Structure 1
């Protein structure tokens, strides 16, 4: 049973993709299969979280190849919750896109590519081998590029090319780094690398390879100063695609950073000091970039950059509480950020524009939408008792515990600027009158699935806020597992290494 559970996060979306391809002439069947596949992935993720909460760590080798030579898979607390959230956001994306007024072929292709993307993301979360992490990065790069470019148009293709070039550069750098690490250490198994680095036996070549690997992950996570590709590409994609990307793609890079740094350097060191300053710069530069924007999705795209800084800050502080804060922030932010993009899409359709100057009147005409925006927006800014408040509170507490006053200052300052940015969207899109009231009144509410999606995600945000205690307990246990690495090290020990 454990072997089956290990592969289900990848098998489920890949099976959905293959089945959908077999019936691709029927758009209705493709839609049904895609929705059921995403629902199944969500249920698998929930099952894995339930097992992980009982301290069950799944680990194994595919096809009975002994570690470190075969394909190693590990699902611990962090991997389990990331698979579950991937399923939730994937399902939300497909429900939101269902019955949208787009060409049938466009919707079909989008659903197919989403399945491939989900498989790549889940594969990256559960792999315990550097080369296979590279393979899954390639899979999700192909799917994500196709989704950005879907529909064509000069603006969309330009953004897609920017995205492709920078992410391909990061992937090639990752491949080079993997080659250096293998040449220097003779292995790419994460558990065996952890034993080598923790014992102080890593050569200069292995160090160089791993550091290049971290640079690659930093590009994919959109850390300062390597974030420029994100604000120029995410906002050009179709709204459900943008929301999916906003919730998940940069978090794959963050996840890879957290996994590799905690495996190789469980104690604070030079790498953590560098990441600390990078995280602070990412937070403040991202939020200042958002303040200069005049389109909803461009504002939200810069906030992705800013919020990634919080997660990496928790990693950089390297205390159990800080790591737990990073895990909590990941859980909170994926839901909140995807939902803000979803709400922004509904607002843009109702007002006829994404430019703040051309929007307005939504509070008076659609009060429910105003509420559904306010919940994730206030959570993003860290207003109690929503999930974002607890995530920021934990990181501030962790910073003060180690006298990282500068980090605590940047957390609070970025939170203030985030609130100002959300207030800017609120004032321009919801409070001020619409420049053409007749257009707003004539716009229909659109597909009910889109409204249901943002309502459910807003509810999840509220639940995380009010159930912060159990979520934090889970995050603390996940933080302990990150440094102890029971699943990764067990594979090596089991083979007598």
Structure 2
């Protein structure tokens, strides 16, 4: 079933070309995009089943066997990330299509939007599936190039300014990543992740530490880890609601995914675990303090996004199975919940004319369904039991208590404080926007039902993660075991490679 592996990259790229060719027929573009992402979702479901039952699946691009060629690898971790990202990408696309219909497609560069969005989807999938460090860089650059375009849609001065900050920071992280790649190739003679996991053990520990620091800095910028996170709150809130939602839900998580892969496959000596734990603690606290101080819903959510990245980094820094499994669970949870909240923020802006908490009010009377739609994922983000946010945080805090070091216990305390302050921030926003009287009469606005659906699906999915919390945690436990064992990934790439069934049977016969 390894033929499934390249499809999440290939399908969006082909669809992007078709959408570009149909630039004068926006309805056809929309149909192509929905069909393509629906197929990607179906493939991701297939990969979840195959990787869970048969182990990692590998395709060597161009038929060149690893480590000479570039490998695409689907394992439990990448399959889960693909599935959640496919759901989010499809829901945000449906939201944006409904928004376009509601606006009469006025002022929206539709001909650009669909091809760019599909290229973004391909870049995300390529990053999750890459078994080669340079191809991972290519995946990042594909999604970043697409994100530059999406971030500045509309061409307003505020969006161009925010886009400029994003471009500069992204280029800095890309340069760091590219320099790291050059240094790693000079030191080891390979960029294949499976082979690197073996060769990095043979180089000087000091050199290995420098390489790890360089990679970690590049990925930490992309993941918005403190102190490299200051760019995010100024970049995301100015973009259109669908763009902000997909950025908040996915792009930082690609950086987190890269850190997980790096720490579990390439650098397993724990040299920077303490540094990562300090970064996790500071990311939680600085981010949530920033959120509490905000009076704009989008900026508040942007700061909570930063703070909750800290939970994921904490799980990685613990370097034990419980922490890693909980981090993976929390990534999946946070992608859906954060995306849902940004989509709801777009609905609030349409109905109330603003996302400023100083201008909003009375929305609970005017749009009670919208109040519920904000409340559910907000409580999930805060970690109210028995929601999935609570389950993820309990797992992370339990893993910290298991480690028991003073820093781990301090980070556990920081996680509890962050959760309480998150609850305070979102309740304050909900109270001001929905329950308090508006300072002045709100402008007439509409919230089309067709835009409610995608946001409601993601909010419901966040709740569903709690319902299936046991099976989902079993899956993430298995993913964490594979990551820590390393051999399933390494053997799939270097031993089995892209052999067909006939070759596998022949190999089995030789062994016998």
Query: Which TM-score applies when normalising by structure 2?
Result: 0.93
Q: Measure the CA separation in 2 of the matches of 1:49 and 1:279.
A: 29
Q: Measure the CA separation in 1 of the matches of 2:340 and 2:108.
A: 25
| Compared CA separation, residues 112 and 60, structure 1 to 2 (3 A) | closer
Instruction: Provide structure 2 residue ranges, at least 5 long, that are not aligned to the other structure.
Output: 498-512
Instruction: Provide structure 1 residue ranges, at least 5 long, that are not aligned to the other structure.
Output: none
Instruction: Indicate yes or no: 2:173 matched with 1:170.
Output: yes
* Equivalence for 2:272: 271
State the shift of 1:449 in Å. 2.5
* Equivalence for 1:295: 296
Identify the range of structure 1 (304-313 vs 429-438) with the bigger mean alpha-carbon deviation. Answer: 429-438
State the shift of 1:43 in Å. 1.3
Find the residue that maps to 2:186 and give its secondary structure: helix
State the shift of 1:201 in Å. 3.6
Q: Measure the CA separation in 1 of the matches of 2:35 and 2:63.
A: 31
* Equivalence for 1:414: 418
Q: Measure the CA separation in 1 of the matches of 2:51 and 2:66.
A: 23
Instruction: Indicate yes or no: 2:131 matched with 1:128.
Output: yes
Instruction: Indicate yes or no: 2:196 matched with 1:193.
Output: yes
* Equivalence for 1:426: 430
Instruction: Indicate yes or no: 2:358 matched with 1:369.
Output: no
Find the residue that maps to 1:59 and give its secondary structure: strand
1:310-459 mapped onto 2 (5 Å cutoff)? 310-403=311-404, 404-437=408-441, 439=443, 442-446=444-448, 448-459=449-460
Find the residue that maps to 1:212 and give its secondary structure: helix
* Equivalence for 1:161: 164
State the shift of 1:188 in Å. 0.7
Q: Measure the CA separation in 2 of the matches of 1:129 and 1:489.
A: 15
Q: Measure the CA separation in 2 of the matches of 1:173 and 1:14.
A: 27
State the shift of 1:206 in Å. 4.4
Find the residue that maps to 2:232 and give its secondary structure: coil
The size of the alignment, in residue pairs, is 489
State the shift of 1:226 in Å. 0.3
Find the residue that maps to 2:338 and give its secondary structure: helix
State the shift of 1:50 in Å. 1.9
Q: Measure the CA separation in 1 of the matches of 2:202 and 2:333.
A: 36
Q: Measure the CA separation in 2 of the matches of 1:105 and 1:284.
A: 38
Identify the range of structure 1 (325-334 vs 430-439) with the bigger mean alpha-carbon deviation. Answer: 430-439
Q: Measure the CA separation in 2 of the matches of 1:385 and 1:429.
A: 25
Identify the range of structure 1 (471-480 vs 203-212) with the bigger mean alpha-carbon deviation. Answer: 203-212
Q: Deviations over 1:27-70 (max 9, x none)?
A: 11001111111111111111111222324310131122122121
State the shift of 1:105 in Å. 5.0
Identify the range of structure 1 (46-55 vs 240-249) with the bigger mean alpha-carbon deviation. Answer: 46-55
Q: Deviations over 1:202-251 (max 9, x none)?
A: 56444423320111000000001000111110001001000000000000
Does the CA-based 8 Å contact 2:57-2:74 persist in structure 1? yes
Identify the range of structure 1 (353-362 vs 99-108) with the bigger mean alpha-carbon deviation. Answer: 99-108
Does the CA-based 8 Å contact 2:88-2:339 persist in structure 1? yes
Q: Deviations over 1:135-161 (max 9, x none)?
A: 111111100010001111110000000
* Equivalence for 1:85: 84
State the shift of 1:488 in Å. 3.4
1:235-246 mapped onto 2 (5 Å cutoff)? 235-246=237-248
Identify the range of structure 1 (405-414 vs 59-68) with the bigger mean alpha-carbon deviation. Answer: 59-68
Instruction: Indicate yes or no: 2:480 matched with 1:479.
Output: yes
Does the CA-based 8 Å contact 1:128-1:488 persist in structure 2? no
Q: Measure the CA separation in 2 of the matches of 1:284 and 1:223.
A: 12
Does the CA-based 8 Å contact 1:96-1:240 persist in structure 2? yes
State the shift of 1:489 in Å. 4.0
Find the residue that maps to 2:272 and give its secondary structure: helix
Does the CA-based 8 Å contact 2:220-2:228 persist in structure 1? yes
1:43-62 mapped onto 2 (5 Å cutoff)? 43-62=42-61
| Compared CA separation, residues 337 and 414, structure 1 to 2 (3 A) | same
Does the CA-based 8 Å contact 2:297-2:355 persist in structure 1? yes
Q: Measure the CA separation in 2 of the matches of 1:352 and 1:104.
A: 17
Does the CA-based 8 Å contact 2:277-2:314 persist in structure 1? yes
Matching residue within 87, 97, 109 for 2:112: 109
Q: Measure the CA separation in 2 of the matches of 1:275 and 1:201.
A: 23
Does the CA-based 8 Å contact 1:27-1:104 persist in structure 2? no
Q: How large is the RMSD of aligned CA atoms in angstroms?
A: 1.5
* Equivalence for 1:14: 13
* Equivalence for 2:40: 41
Q: Deviations over 1:120-179 (max 9, x none)?
A: 011000001101111111111100010001111110000000000001110011000100
Does the CA-based 8 Å contact 1:59-1:488 persist in structure 2? no
Find the residue that maps to 1:236 and give its secondary structure: coil
* Equivalence for 1:182: 185
* Equivalence for 2:230: 228
* Equivalence for 1:214: 216
Find the residue that maps to 2:66 and give its secondary structure: coil
4+ residue segments displaced more than 6 Å: none
Does the CA-based 8 Å contact 1:234-1:242 persist in structure 2? yes
Find the residue that maps to 2:358 and give its secondary structure: helix
Find the residue that maps to 2:365 and give its secondary structure: helix
Find the residue that maps to 2:194 and give its secondary structure: helix
Q: Measure the CA separation in 2 of the matches of 1:436 and 1:51.
A: 56
